[in-house]
Amino acid sequence: KRQSDQPPGVECINDEPKQTGLSRDIRADRSVFAETAMLLSAFSSFLLIQLASGLEEGDRCSINGQNGVCLVRANCPEYAQMKQLGVRPRICAYKTGPREPIICCPALASGNDRRNVRRSEQYCDQYRKLASTEIFVGPLTPGAELNRHLVPQCDESLGLIVGGQESLPGEFPHMAVLGWSECGDDRDPEFRCGGSLISDRYVLTAGHCVRTTKANVVNVVRLGDHHLYERGDGMREVTLGIEAIVVHPEYRPSESRYNDIALVRLNQTVTFGTNIRPACLWPTNQLNETRVVAIGYGDTEDYGSPSSVLMKVGLEVLPNDLCRGLYVEERKLPQAIADSQLCARSPVDKQPRDTCRGDSGGPLQVALTGHRCLYYLIGITSFGKGCGAAGTAGVYTRVAAYLEWIEGIVWP
């Protein structure tokens, strides 16, 4: 017989195992091990409580500067969205018995009822986390709470206000481009309009961009791209089909240029990443910034050719009362420039810059104050007089004027 087949500490006599002194030692060791495991389990529970925030269920809390209340995870209506977006919840405490975490549930604190917070703003709080990496730094004081920091996922040293130049790969991860094809064949689409990703299923664009005929159909949306016709640009772009198109009910292109806005529902849920993530929606008609940025793949000059690389241009918001004087004689603008529109032009100290054909539907945006990796959409490229002509301004659909309509479809 092979001695190695028998386990250590066991003799076989008449095929019956007999415990030896070594086995008794093992039993004693197991008893000590069990006691140690219980102590470690209790100690780990103590550590979990210490690492939590020291709050209790129902206490007020804050997460990423947003007010909230400590709730059992199962009772937090925002937890499913946080999990989908990969957002790590802040732990307030742990329930005794079954160790269930109590988390800081955002936008639920007393005095800041979440019903008073727009759905688009609630989702913007989640998008802000996508544009950052969360790190925790240990404090010098024993037992103190870990310090939380958000590190932006972009190069903040880049000047945002620039004029008429190629963007950097991944600089505008919300940029979308709409593709047309003949008779619905999506193998070789022609990209003619831009758009902005605002959720995991919807792209915001201009109403005039989605008009189709039976022989010419807008049927694809590309996300996360930089060079439209080069696959070796290092970008992980995706091309998705279109499930539905919703044009604003008051958009009547044969009569006017007002309400030039539409939503495109994608045929599948978008997976967010470094080069694909949504932009926020500017929540008010008041603008704190006058310098804004437009992006697109449109013509680089009047009567020129479309760009195959995503371009960016720094513009200046022109007050509506001044812009109205530029469009007083337009047949399709009986009110001249309406409050639901805004104008932007090249800064007065710069060479003429503008959006052009092919940029329609694309975003006019500002960077979030203190966080230049996240963008707020303030306008949708609509129309203009020529491209960059002196003394003119481009006209954009004002996003804030349509928030209720957008939210009712995207986040009902």
Question: Residue 61 contacts by C-beta under 8 Å, 6 or more apart in sequence?
Answer: 53, 55, 67, 68, 69, 70, 90, 92, 104, 109
Strand order in the sheet with 101-106: 60-63, 66-72, 101-106, 91-94
Compute the radius of gyration of the chain from its Cα atoms.
Answer: 29
Asked if 229 and 404 touch (Cβ cutoff 8 Å), the reply is no
Asked if 176 and 197 touch (Cβ cutoff 8 Å), the reply is yes
360 part of the active site: yes
In the block, which residue shows the tokens 């529902």?
265
Give bridge partners of residue 18 from the DSSP assignment: 11
**Gap between the Cα atoms of 164 and 279, Å rounded:** 22
User: Among residues 167, 199, 360, 382, which one is catalytic?
Assistant: 360
Dump the DSSP string for 343-380. EEE--TTS------TT-TT-EEEEEETTEEEEEEEEEE
Question: Residue 222 contacts by C-beta under 8 Å, 6 or more apart in sequence?
Answer: 176, 177, 179, 191, 228, 237, 238, 239, 240
Secondary structure E strands in 153-211 = 165-166, 175-182, 190-197, 202-205
Segment holding 41, helix H or strand E: helix 21-51
User: Among residues 208, 226, 227, 248, which one is catalytic?
Assistant: 208
User: Among residues 225, 260, 354, 359, which one is catalytic?
Assistant: 260
**Gap between the Cα atoms of 250 and 227, Å rounded:** 35
Nearest CA-CA partner of 222 in 214, 233, 213: 233
260 part of the active site: yes
Give bridge partners of residue 311 from the DSSP assignment: 166, 296
Question: Residue 314 contacts by C-beta under 8 Å, 6 or more apart in sequence?
Answer: 160, 161, 162, 163, 291, 292, 293, 347, 350, 353
Active site residues: 208, 260, 360
